[in-house]
Structure 1
Amino acid sequence: MDQIDVIVAGGGVAGLMAAMAFAHRGQSVLCVDPVPPVTERDAEGSDLRSTAFLMPAVEMMREVGLWDRLAPEAAELAVMRLCDSGGEINEIRESADFVATEIGQDLFGWNVPNYVLRREMTAHAEAMEGLELRLGTGVANVLPRTGHALVSLDDGSRWRCDLLVGADGRNSLVREALGIDVRTVRYGQKAVVFAVGHDLPHQGISTELHRTGGPFTLVPLPDDPEGGHRSAVVWMETGPKAAALMEMDAETFAAEATARSCHVLGPLTLESPRRVWPIVSQEAQELTGPHTALIAEAAHVMPPIGAQGLNTSFADIRALIEAAGRHALGSDEMLEDYAKARRADIALRERGVELLNRAAMTDVQALRDLRRQGLRVLAGLGPVKQVAMRTGMGL
């Protein structure tokens, strides 16, 4: 049996970041995942999403030396624009700009295509001293003990570690092995995810439009080499509507997307295949077990609103690293410190995103009008608006 300080189950963005963070502080780390990451541009049809990183997450990537690899292919996020288009006519009737400089920040963060993110994170992790990646190898069994955790991998190897980090997604094997239940909320929604080209520059503005069914969000992507402007889109809709959108031919779909966007960037052209993702909220009832911590989607899943999902995951990693700096690695004290630091924040963000999603879904005109009034009030209350921005960024 092999001995190591930390095993990270899950080689997605959060798992790789956790592995790099522990290796950066001098721990020996093994990171495993049964599925190798999508790292090539010509394979982007397998993962069309991009990830918006708020500045606290960017700072974490700078600390481990990763950010310089990502910066050349990232698009800045300077303004978060919320729009209500919930009138009888599909047009913007209220909008509010949340500007990073209003809270003393140059930017809210950066948006990075996921295939770039996985490619560069994998390359950087492979080069880090003390970190071993086994992508294509998964966890087969977990047995927590008093002094350590025993982890069996599906390649037949067996390991003993001081700390097991469960970053293995919403269907976490690690969480299941610990017997931890989850609270799940299903909204009857799906997200249609794709990339578009457009005539007008996005100017670093992420635009979220609310009508019915859920938000329609345009997130800046880097311009293409020939000078065209591009954005990633997350279009949340009811299940039947999402299914209908997926059945449309490309030209019809692009016209529907342009109309839903209220033409804020001009005509949209589809520049990628479409993929559809179910929308749920999920929250683990416990964040820890013996010598084990849950992070990211093993601990919490939330709808893709306000860039909260993965940035909440990075806050998990920060809290776990800080707890490891105060207590023995994998000890009860360390894990309780971590759980105490994260419980309230995760619950707050889960409930907040759930509330925003339900407000965005409504097709009741009176509630849509109320949503418009709420946006107007928020836009006019400077101190409240600043608190909302700081809270959203995790400052």
Structure 2
Amino acid sequence: MDHDILIAGGGIAGLTAAAAFGAAGFDVLCVDPAPPVASREAPGADLRSTAFLQPAQAFLAEAGLWERLARHATPLQTMRIIDAGGPAPDARLSRDFEASDLSPDLPFGWNLPNWLLRREMAARLQEMDSVTFRTGVSVERLFTRTDEARVSLSDGRTLRCRLLIAADGRDSALRQAAGIDVSCTRFGQKALAFAVTHPIPHGNVSTEIHRTGGPFTLVPLPDHEGRPSSAVVWMEHGARAAALHALDVPEFEAAMTERSAHQFGPLTLASRRAIWPIIAQHARALSSERLALVAEAAHVVPPIGAQGLNMSLTDLKVLRDLARAAPERLGDADMLARYHRARITDIRARIGGITALNRVSMLQAPALRDLRAAGLAALHGAAPLRRALMQLGLGQTR
């Protein structure tokens, strides 16, 4: 056997998986067609940010990643939801959800830019004797048997492993090769992602502003060039998003400042703009012979409530725990069936909940937007329900 585990995909989920399984004592090879883009200004840099929620911290620490990430992380102490659905695009209702309601010492989570995450995670893998990370290489063919997977790589090599992990994205070639179907919902939306600076400090508050088309979310980042900075995800109907993406910078800055309900003063664009379509998608099965699907190969959700990557980390933790509990059964049919059963119900429930929230955020009719605002006020005002929903969002079961 050439490796215990082969991971296809060197995005954040794939790099995390390599670190986690390597730290658990497995021999791991992770491959990706392209090297990580590890600079904010480099062509192809992922300009989104990722919020790691509370439960992720221990898992990242066990993988040896948190020590590298902590010094770059911006804590998320408050989540503020604003309804700006009145006649003018101004805040008419604002409610804060405080991490202190759940724990006195910990924030909801920590936010980091994706390009920086990939830089630090790739550096961690270089330190690990049990992990090999190869770029410029992809999986081309897959042949599985009950006791092993044989993988043909683009460099001409054929390797044998006990478990193949597909972390190769929403259009996963490995998922398709295994014949696993997906259920997909399209919303007619696109998301713009970029970074901004602003004169008013964010105070470690993540701010989600609802009007129509989808939420406009500002997530705290470290100061940039001496000014407060935030990562922004702006979801809009597809044609509107494309038109915004094409605007000259001054026009775009005026539009995003208005859409932000002027919460942080005039917004200044501090990065390139990325755009991508919004879908909700999940694989009908999370495994096949010697193959496990994780992250966006298994599920895709709209960027609401920091659920996407945190669902992916739960995939990895469940899979890692199963492997560590019975290493002699790594990748066998029983282990992979357990993985599917442990994750599929939660994945479907979270996708359903996020899909519903996204449709509410898209409302255009004034009367329905009024109902949305009233619902937010009622939810926040019921303290037990508020705390229960926050715990659910964090993935806590207590």
Q: Name the SS for the 1:41 alignment partner.
A: coil
> Where in structure 2 are the equivalents of 1:27-176 lying within 5 Å?
27-43=26-42, 46-104=45-103, 106-176=106-176
Amino acid paired to 1:391 = L
Check conservation: 2:139, 2:151, Cα contact below 8 A. Answer: yes
2:310 aligned with 1:311: yes
Aligned twin of 1:354 = 355
> Does residue 291 of structure 1 match 2:299?
no
Per-residue deviation, residues 132-166 of structure 1 (Å, max 9, x unmatched): 11111000011111111111111111111111111
**Matched residue SS, 2:2:** strand
TM-superposition CA deviations, 1:171-217 (whole Å, max 9, x none)? 11110111000011111100011111100110110000110000000
CA distance in 2, matches of 1:281, 1:44: 27
Counterpart amino acid of 1:49?
R
Match of 2:221 in 1: 221
How far apart are residue 44 of structure 1 and its match?
Answer: 6.4
Partner of 1:393: 394
- Equivalent position amino acid for 2:254 in 1: A
Distance in 2 of aligned mates of 1:93 and 1:45: 38
CA RMSD of aligned residues (A): 1.2
Identical pairs, percent: 52
Report the Cα offset of residue 42 of structure 1. 3.2
Find the aligned partners of 1:205 and 1:211 in 2 and give their Cα distance.
19
1:162-311 equivalences in 2 (<5 Å): 162-224=162-224, 226-311=225-310
CA contact (8 A) 1:82 1:96 kept: yes
The structural deviation recorded for 1:40 is 2.2
Deviation per CA, 1:100-139, whole angstroms, max 9, x where unpaired? 1101152011111111111110010121121011111000
In 2, the alpha carbon distance for the partners of 1:394 and 1:136 equals 36
After superposition, the C-alpha distances for 1:70-101 in whole angstroms (9 at most, x for unaligned) are 22222111111111111112111222211111
Normalised TM-score (structure 2):
0.96
Q: Which amino acid aligns with 1:347?
A: R
Deviation at 1:305, TM superposition (A): 0.5
Supply the distance in 1 between the matched residues of 2:135 and 2:185 (Cα, whole angstroms).
Answer: 31
How far is the alpha carbon of 1:45 from its aligned partner?
A: 5.8
Residues 274-323 of structure 1: CA deviation (Å, up to 9, x unaligned): 11111111110000001111000000001000000001000000110111
TM-score, structure 1 normalization: 0.97
Aligned length: 393
User: How far did 1:354 drift?
Assistant: 0.4
CA distance in 2, matches of 1:146, 1:73: 43
Distance 1:368 1:108 in 2: 27
Q: Which deviations, in whole Å up to 9, do the C-alpha atoms of 1:9-32 show, x marking residues without a partner?
A: 111100111111111111100001
CA distance in 1, matches of 2:374, 2:178: 46
Residue ranges of structure 1 left out of the alignment (5+ in a row): none
Q: Distance in 2 between matches of 1:13 and 1:41?
A: 15
Deviation at 1:246, TM superposition (A): 1.4
Residue number in structure 1 paired with 2:385: 384
Letter in 2 for 1:215: P
| Residue 178 to residue 242, structure 1, CA distance change in 2 (3 Å) | same
Q: Deviations over 1:49-77 (max 9, x none)?
A: 11111122222111122122222222111
1:115 aligned counterpart, secondary structure? helix
2:41 match: secondary structure: helix
Deviation for aligned residue 1:329: 0.5
The runs of 4+ residues in structure 1 deviating greater than 4 Å are none
In structure 1, C-alpha distance between the alignment counterparts of 2:265 and 2:69, rounded to whole Å: 28
AA aligned opposite 2:370: D
Q: Greater CA deviation, 253-262 or 326-335?
A: 326-335
Instruction: Tell me the equivalent position of 2:20.
Output: 21
Amino acid at match of 1:353: I
Aligned to 2:368: 367
Q: Aligned in 2, Cα 1:287/1:207: closer, same or farther, shift over 3 Å? A: same
Work out whether residues 51 and 114 of structure 1, in 8 Å CA contact, stay in contact via their aligned partners in 2.
yes
Segments of structure 2 that go 5 or more residues without pairing to the other structure are none
Instruction: Give the letter for the 1:115 counterpart.
Output: W
